[in-house]
A and B are shown apart, each in its own frame.
Chain A
């Protein structure tokens, strides 16, 4: 399906810096690394059942990106009957890269931006893989 895109859906959890890191990584992929191939959708709009948002999710590939173990982005997508093609948690990337520590929620700082770039790199590879090979 040539017209398909990959939607990156972060939780954007406002209470913790890892939620901000997921949001930043999403923008890094859709605006810098894979513009035109990747996009995002408002999670709250999707969860409240907006038809256009639901259509976007069901007709494209999805990658959920959560900030904490509660996996709200993934759960909210699954609640619509769609299983994301890939699911990530920023906390897992942080565990693998403890030196890349986010500073805060409003400004994730140098460490947070470095962590965001690491996550975005992995996800951008997924974007290419999904668009080339589809769901496996």
Chain B
């Protein structure tokens, strides 16, 4: 039996990038500590604020909700959960009840917003139309753009001061690499622990970005938190390729994901200096903030005549 490097109890996890073995207690403590440290270091949550948490029902967002609810109880803050029902048959209809159950268990206000209500079509329907019209956009483009827009709208309607998302270390390292590969400088510079306030946008915070995906999953399993463990049926293409590449690389060269994140964080201030600032205005179709006449969500829908 392998033992915990710190306390000698039975180990449950080999933290290869640090060369340590952890037991259940030490792993749970470490995940919590990293969350609290990120909140403190980047000043993500101020006392008496209201935090809207994007909760899909998957392990990352459910664990984020539990950690944020615990933090807010301690700091006299308010928490609300927001779930976007994109309308992905066989996937979101299974995770949504899990999100609801966790919000209820924690006694947290829960707002569910659907693509169907907001845009008149589910993601499944949008993808079908896009295919018919031979659109070159990947389903993740429609989903990501529209989900972000609805999350912002919902957080604003809830009167939230911040919108927390559960992006973990793996997500962040993948996003950094994806933007490198695509040469997308402006998206690259938006990554980070906090996306600062701009008119119409609720500031987005990522308190989990320094916690590896596997440690979040183990936290949920060890604490017996109910989560939905499934992969979105639309998840493929370049996102999945970068994810697999980074996971293979991490096995051969432990600490790769942390190094990608740390290097990016050091470069970020210099990247920001090179980008021109732009004015925001209201989308003439939906009123959401945008740099052009139409926001990206309305632009995508217009292309499909939805």
Say whether A associates with B: no
